[in-house]
């Protein structure tokens, strides 16, 4: 409602209050400037958004990237074009008064309509509540499928999307036309805002935060769509529908994509990847029989299901349907990566063109990934899921998923911790606990965010303390004590002491030759890797606490940039890395990238 009212207001102001009295010729020139400025804005939209995402990360700039990347080029281009036109054409052309009035109103309103449409798309693409200003164009159907919603009664965004989509095929024709890449452009803002928590979770990610590891198809000769929409976990066929609420053709197939999200895609709070059905979309189209590089009748389909690891304690996967409202899948445990296999229903005469992950585009036609893996039946797909061959398999030989270290592990210089018998105490330098080794007084936590409603738990942040300030907290009232780090039901918090002289030190001989771009990693017996989500650094002058589950340490150089650099020349430095690992899974080793610094023999788990 409000979004439509604002759009109407912009059109009325432009058409009646501004350009009605300035004449047909001036209003016509302004319309041309607005039209060209819009074309420039849409041309710059994706490239500029990727730049802002890279610079902004998980901060406000990253969350606003898709909105700013459209609004800013439009505003700048319009201002510059107006200046050029005003300096070039200094005199107005007078028509009959009635023509000036009517022509000015029409051209002014048209320019206002373009501005209103771009405003609606830009504002809607910000990290805002799902129903912000009642500007939703998508909704959940009764079967959980993503469908068009008509709650926005003033369709300036749809008109502008259709206008520039048409121009991208004609006057402003390019190799990747807007009409093909964004056939339902007006729906995109809503799809971004349909995140976990009614829009509170992240609305987008950076291109480097995920990798499309491969494709697969399900369906073959004699297979009906209903047979493909059932699985071993829920035998009844899923009642999936397209964005128009209609059933897919009976001869449709399933197109699947395996996507690995790395640590950069995690949410700030619980440090997990959270993804809903609206945030992944696939653009499909019919190939043009006269031109292999052109497509006809593009449309958007949303996933009907996804497969992923079901529990933190075991690597076994399961298939989950998007068959209800607000279904979001999350990475389990504390692993640095989370892999999902998304499934889409595609009619027989359509092919995938582009895959969008929180609006970051991956080109399917001509993109990486190679030929899809073909599975004839749902049973074959289900077997691949259950055995780990689907989300754990290698689709692209030699590729490294999600930025994880690839290649063989090197344990030639590793410390062997343990005697091969059951552990009676923890390996030296390893502590399982969600308690800081000191107490912070409430009110002095600085940049650390503290949940005072649940026992003064540190949820996020970073702060530098004076060591003397920490020493003076002994004996303070329990209600003022801040010591706990936030954890989740399926994770455990682990401290690893990497200071000089420790068995897992970053200053040992094995670590000396390691490149600074690799991260410190814990590995468990299931092969899961964990990057540090924080650290405690202490020297004679300062004590730094960093705890950011959604922004893990990705390299040794990042540690140094965060003020946690240690050296052999200073004996007063101490550094403990903070990890969050899958609960109940024994740890196998600690290392830097593929270089193992310490192996636990046997693998360690408290109370083993």
Query: How far is Cα 488 from Cα 355, in angstroms, rounded to an integer?
Result: 32
pLDDT band per the 50, 70, 90 thresholds, residue 538: very high
Of 92-96, 391-395, 487-491, highest mean pLDDT: 487-491
pLDDT band per the 50, 70, 90 thresholds, residue 270: confident
173 vs 561, more confident:
561
Q: Is the pLDDT of residue 599 over 80?
A: yes
The mean pLDDT value for 153-175 works out to 92
In the block, tokens 């150089």 appear at: 557
* Other residues' Cβ atoms within 10 Å of the Cβ of residue 6: 17
The mean pLDDT value for 509-527 works out to 90
Read off the pLDDT of residues 44-80 as tens digits, 9 standing for 90 and up. 999 999 999 999 888 899 999 999 999 999 999 999 9
Query: How far is Cα 441 from Cα 542, in angstroms, rounded to an integer?
Result: 16
Query: How far is Cα 21 from Cα 435, in angstroms, rounded to an integer?
Result: 70
The mean pLDDT value for 589-599 works out to 95
406 secondary structure, DSSP code: P
pLDDT band per the 50, 70, 90 thresholds, residue 418: very high
pLDDT band per the 50, 70, 90 thresholds, residue 131: very high
The mean pLDDT value for 199-203 works out to 93
Query: How far is Cα 445 from Cα 399, in angstroms, rounded to an integer?
Result: 43
3-state secondary structure of 7: helix
Q: Are 252 and 225 in contact (CB under 8 A)?
A: yes
- Do you find a cis peptide bond into 576, omega within 30 degrees of 0? no
Mean pLDDT (the chain, rounded):
91
pLDDT value, residue 553: 92
Q: Is the pLDDT of residue 396 over 50?
A: no
pLDDT value, residue 368: 53
pLDDT value, residue 315: 85
The mean pLDDT value for 193-203 works out to 94
Read off the pLDDT of residues 72-92 as tens digits, 9 standing for 90 and up. 999 999 999 999 999 998 777
226 vs 315, more confident:
226
The mean pLDDT value for 444-459 works out to 95
CA–CA distance from 531 to each of 262, 555, 591 (Å)? 10, 9, 10
- Of 101-105, 338-342, 396-400, the least confident: 396-400
Q: Residue 134 — left, alpha, or beta (φ > 0 → left; ψ -120 to 50 → alpha)? A: left
pLDDT value, residue 399: 35
248 secondary structure, DSSP code: P
pLDDT value, residue 403: 37
Q: Is the pLDDT of residue 395 over 90?
A: no
Q: Are 392 and 384 in contact (CB under 8 A)?
A: no
pLDDT value, residue 30: 94
| The CA-based dihedral angle spanning residues 503, 505, 507, 508, taken in that order and rounded to the nearest 10 degrees | 30
301, two tokens? 């389909």
| The CA-based dihedral angle spanning residues 166, 170, 176, 179, taken in that order and rounded to the nearest 10 degrees | 10
pLDDT band per the 50, 70, 90 thresholds, residue 408: confident
Q: What is the DSSP string of 586-602?
A: -EEEEEETTEEEEEEEE
The set of residues, in sequence order, having a beta carbon less than 8 Å from that of 400 and lying 6+ positions away, is 406
pLDDT band per the 50, 70, 90 thresholds, residue 98: confident
The mean pLDDT value for 139-163 works out to 93
Query: How far is Cα 570 from Cα 561, in angstroms, rounded to an integer?
Result: 18
Q: What is the DSSP string of 23-52?
A: -HHHHHHHHHHHHHHHHHHHHHHHHHHHHH
- Give helix 2-12 / helix 156-169 axis angle, nearest 10°: 70
Domain extent listing, the chain: 1-169, 201-387, 415-604
Query: How far is Cα 149 from Cα 243, in angstroms, rounded to an integer?
Result: 9
pLDDT value, residue 143: 94
370 secondary structure, DSSP code: -
Q: What is the DSSP string of 48-109?
A: HHHHHHHHHTTSHHHHTHHHHHHHHHHHHHHHHHHHHHHHH--S-----HHHHHHHHHHHHH
pLDDT value, residue 393: 56
Query: How far is Cα 130 from Cα 359, in angstroms, rounded to an integer?
Result: 16
In degrees and rounded to multiples of 5, residue 305 shows phi and psi of -165, 165
The mean pLDDT value for 504-513 works out to 89
Query: How far is Cα 26 from Cα 582, in angstroms, rounded to an integer?
Result: 66
Read off the pLDDT of residues 424-433 as tens digits, 9 standing for 90 and up. 999 999 999 9
The mean pLDDT value for 322-326 works out to 95
CA–CA distance from 332 to each of 63, 313, 587 (Å)? 24, 9, 17
Read off the pLDDT of residues 333-382 as tens digits, 9 standing for 90 and up. 888 899 999 999 999 999 999 999 999 999 997 655 568 999 999 999 99
Q: Is the pLDDT of residue 405 over 70?
A: no
């Amino acid at each position: 409602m409000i979004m439509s009212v604002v759009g109407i207001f912009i059109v009325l102001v432009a058409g009646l209050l501004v350009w009605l009295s300035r004449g047909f010729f001036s209003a016509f020139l302004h319309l041309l400037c607005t039209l060209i400025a819009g074309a420039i804005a849409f041309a710059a939209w994706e490239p500029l958004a990727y730049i802002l995402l890279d610079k902004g990360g998980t901060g406000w700039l990253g969350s606003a990237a898709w909105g700013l990347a459209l609004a800013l080029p439009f505003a700048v281009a319009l201002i510059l074009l107006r200046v050029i036109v005003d300096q070039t054409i200094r005199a107005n052309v007078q028509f009959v008064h009635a023509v000036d009035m009517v022509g000015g109103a029409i051209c002014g309103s048209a320019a206002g309509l373009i501005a209103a449409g771009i405003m609606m798309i830009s504002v809607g693409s910000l990290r805002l509540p799902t129903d912000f200003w009642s500007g939703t164009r998508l909704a959940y159907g009764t079967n959980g499928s993503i469908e068009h919603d008509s709650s926005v009664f003033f369709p300036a965004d749809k008109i502008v999307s259709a206008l520039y989509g048409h121009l991208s095929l004609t006057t402003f024709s390019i190799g990747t036309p807007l009409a093909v890449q964004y056939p339902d452009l007006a729906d995109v803002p809503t799809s971004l805002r349909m995140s976990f928590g009614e829009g509170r979770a992240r609305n987008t990610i950076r291109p480097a935060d995920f990798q499309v590891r491969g494709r697969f198809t399900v369906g073959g000769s004699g297979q009906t769509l209903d047979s493909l929409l059932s699985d071993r976990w829920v035998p009844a066929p899923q009642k999936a529908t397209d964005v128009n609420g209609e059933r897919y053709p009976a001869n449709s197939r399933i197109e699947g994509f395996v996507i690995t999200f790395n640590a950069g895609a995690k949410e700030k709070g619980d440090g997990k990847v959270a993804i809903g059905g609206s945030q992944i979309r696939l653009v499909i189209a019919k190939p043009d029989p006269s031109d292999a590089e052109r497509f006809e009748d593009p449309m958007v389909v949303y996933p009907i299901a996804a497969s992923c690891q079901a529990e933190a304690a075991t690597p076994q996967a399961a298939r989950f349907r998007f068959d209800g409202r607000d279904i979001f899948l999350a990475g389990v445990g504390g692993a640095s990566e989370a892999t999902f296999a998304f499934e889409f229903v595609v009619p027989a005469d359509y092919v995938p063109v582009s895959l969008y992950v929180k609006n970051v585009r991956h080109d399917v036609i001509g993109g990486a990934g190679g030929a899809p893996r073909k599975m004839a039946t749902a049973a074959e797909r289900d077997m691949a899921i259950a055995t780990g061959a689907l989300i754990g398999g290698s689709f692209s030989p030699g590729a490294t998923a999600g930025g994880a270290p690839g290649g063989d592990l090197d344990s030639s210089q590793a410390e062997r911790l343990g005697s091969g018998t059951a552990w009676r105490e923890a390996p030296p330098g390893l502590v399982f606990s969600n308690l800081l080794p000191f107490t912070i007084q409430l009110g002095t936590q600085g940049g650390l965010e503290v949940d005072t409603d649940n026992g003064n738990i540190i949820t996020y942040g970073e702060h530098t303390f004076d060591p003397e300030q920490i020493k003076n907290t002994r004996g303070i009232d329990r209600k003022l004590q801040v010591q706990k780090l936030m954890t989740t039901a399926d994770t455990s918090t682990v401290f690893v002491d990497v200071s000089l002289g420790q068995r897992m030190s970053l200053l040992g001989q094995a670590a000396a030759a390691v490149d600074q771009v690799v991260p410190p990693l814990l590995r468990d017996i299931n092969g899961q890797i964990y990057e540090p989500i924080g650290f405690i650094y202490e020297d004679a002058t300062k004590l730094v606490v960093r705890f950011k589950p959604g922004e893990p340490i990705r390299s040794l150089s990042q540690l140094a940039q965060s003020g946690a650099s240690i050296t052999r020349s200073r004996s007063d430095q101490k550094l403990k890395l903070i990890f969050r690992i899958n609960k109940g899974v024994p740890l196998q080793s600690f290392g830097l990238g593929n270089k193992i610094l310490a192996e636990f023999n046997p693998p360690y788990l408290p109370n083993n």
